């Protein structure tokens, strides 16, 4: 269920920008078209803004902003969700691609994986230790 048409204002976006380290991409920005597209090109959504999160503080700020502005919120990890859940119209998209760190503990055979990591990122980090993911 959609919450509302875009409630973003220049002032509210400036306030958000002061709280985050990642970039904010909006309609009209040079990077907007590339940033809004997802893996499934049959799904064409136009969010009011895309927050390029670099850390958990950015995620928190983005979630709070969407709630305060009464906007739909979508979380985009590796951009490969076939159903298009990482996109919306007139809402906020938190793009986690820059949060793609993977730390492998080879002794315990576990990994800590950032929300923007793909299976390729995980396999790349795990392979040197003779480990691999069970997904594809």
Of 107 and 6, which is predicted with more confidence?
Answer: 107
Region of 103 (left: φ > 0; alpha: ψ -120 to 50; beta: rest) is: beta
Cα(53)–Cα(16) distance, rounded to whole angstroms?
Answer: 12
What is the set of domains in the chain, with CATH numbers? Answer: 10-95 (3.30.43.10), 101-136 (no CATH)
pTM over 0.95: no
* Whether 36 contacts 79, CB under 8 Å: no
Cα(27)–Cα(104) distance, rounded to whole angstroms?
Answer: 38
Element (H, E) at 102: strand 102-105
For the residues 104-124, what does the mean pLDDT come to?
Answer: 95
Question: How confident is the model over 6-60, as pLDDT tens digits?
Answer: 567 889 999 999 999 999 999 999 999 999 988 888 889 999 999 999 999 999 9
Torsion sign, CA atoms 26, 28, 32, 38: positive
Can you give the pLDDT at residue 3? 43
Burial level of 128, CB count in 10 A (0-12/13-18/19+)? exposed
* Whether 102 contacts 114, CB under 8 Å: yes
Please check the confidence at residue 2 and state whether its pLDDT lies above 80: no
Average pLDDT, the chain: 91
Helices within the chain (DSSP H only): 10-17, 32-36, 56-69, 119-126
Can you give the pLDDT at residue 39? 80
């Amino acid at each position: 269920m959609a919450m509302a048409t875009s409630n973003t204002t220049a002032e509210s976006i400036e306030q958000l920008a002061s709280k985050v380290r990642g970039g904010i991409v909006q309609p009209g920005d040079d990077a907007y078209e590339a940033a809004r597209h997802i893996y499934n090109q049959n799904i064409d959504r136009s969010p009011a803004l895309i927050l390029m999160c670099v850390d958990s503080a950015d995620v928190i700020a983005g979630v709070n902003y969407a709630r305060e502005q009464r906007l739909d919120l979508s979380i985009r990890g590796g951009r490969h969700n076939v159903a298009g859940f990482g996109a919306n119209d007139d809402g906020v998209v938190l793009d986690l691609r820059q949060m793609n760190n993977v730390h492998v503990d080879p002794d315990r055979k576990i990994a800590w994986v950032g929300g923007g990591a793909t299976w390729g990122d995980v396999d790349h980090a795990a392979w040197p230790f003779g480990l691999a993911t069970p997904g594809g």
